[in-house]
């Protein structure tokens, strides 16, 4: 590994430990020439995941975009950031394991809605209102009634 200080190619590993929940390795290194110590991360190079939008466009999957949408849906709710981060991380892991290289935006939205229903009903409704693009109040009301009906069935 090339030293960031002097450019020497020879360095030795002082310490290695798992990082990012085991999906990467953090290595502490020392340069053989100047003695500079630096850290490197070794991570699996993943295939890009492409999202097929409703209008047929394709764009690269962006976990930050998902996280932003979740935070907006849960705005002013007492839900820790770590919950949203974990949901976004688990979603990406599931998408990469279930789908080869392409996934539709609708598939992503459905997975998120299923998980949001368990986390917070208000966040679920907020996310659904944007994702489902309700044409009017009646469609929104129908979704709420469906959610209430499912809740009554599961608790009763």
Domain boundaries, given as residue ranges, for the chain: 11-43, 50-155
| pLDDT reported for residue 19 | 87
Structure tokens at 58: 């394709």
The helix/strand/coil state of 144 is helix
Write the pLDDT tens digit of every residue in 7-25. 999 999 999 999 877 888 9
Phi/psi for 48 (5° steps) reads -65, 145
The helix/strand/coil state of 138 is helix
Q: pTM for the whole thing?
A: 0.67
In DSSP terms, which residues pair with 29 in a beta bridge?
13, 38
The answer to whether 68 and 85 are in contact (CB under 8 A) is no
Write the pLDDT tens digit of every residue in 121-155. 899 989 998 888 888 888 888 888 888 888 888 77
């Amino acid at each position: 590994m090339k030293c960031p200080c002097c450019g020497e190619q020879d360095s030795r590993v002082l310490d290695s430990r798992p990082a990012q929940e085991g999906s990467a390795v953090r290595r502490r290194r020392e340069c053989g020439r100047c003695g500079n110590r630096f850290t490197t991360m070794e991570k699996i190079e993943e295939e890009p995941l492409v999202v097929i939008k409703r209008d047929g466009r394709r764009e690269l999957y962006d976990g930050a975009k998902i996280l932003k949408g979740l935070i907006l849906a849960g705005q002013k709710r007492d839900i820790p950031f770590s919950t949203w981060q974990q949901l976004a991380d688990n979603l990406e892991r599931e998408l990469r394991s279930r789908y080869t290289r392409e996934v539709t935006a609708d598939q992503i939205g459905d997975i998120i809605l299923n998980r949001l229903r368990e986390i917070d009903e208000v966040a679920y409704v907020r996310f659904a209102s944007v994702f489902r693009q309700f044409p009017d109040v009646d469609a929104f009301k129908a979704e709420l009634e469906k959610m209430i009906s499912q809740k009554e069935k599961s608790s009763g």
